[in-house]
Amino acid sequence: QQAGTPLSGQEYYQFFMYLRVARRARTACLLRMLYGCRNPLVQRLDKYENHGVIPKGPICAELSENPFFPDFCTFSLYRCISKRYFIKV
């Protein structure tokens, strides 16, 4: 896969499999909300999710109600707040 591209469906499944337990997903989101997207652990997760590069600029997501986000951080926070962890970009 090309750096900066989102994970495939199978890769998303593997990426989020660890977070399927609600407590783990909440913990990851709590880290994001407490420390922000500049936290090294949060950035490592974001890079893993996007083949080594955190996307810059606007993000389009598979959402009919809100398909556009100004950046990956905002998109990730939306997933945490709405508890919709499997939404892809």
Across 11-20, 26-35, 51-60, 75-84, least confident range = 11-20
**What is the C-alpha separation between 26 and 74, in angstroms, rounded?**
17
**pLDDT of the residue at 21:** 62
Torsion of CA 66, 68, 70, 73, to 10 degrees: 70
Provide the residue ranges of all domains of the chain, joining segments of one domain with +.
9-82
What are 52's two structure tokens? 């080594």
Categorize the per-residue pLDDT at 3 as very low, low, confident or very high, splitting at 50, 70 and 90.
confident
**What is the C-alpha separation between 41 and 32, in angstroms, rounded?**
9
Inform me whether the pLDDT recorded for 20 exceeds 70.
no
**What is the C-alpha separation between 89 and 32, in angstroms, rounded?**
18
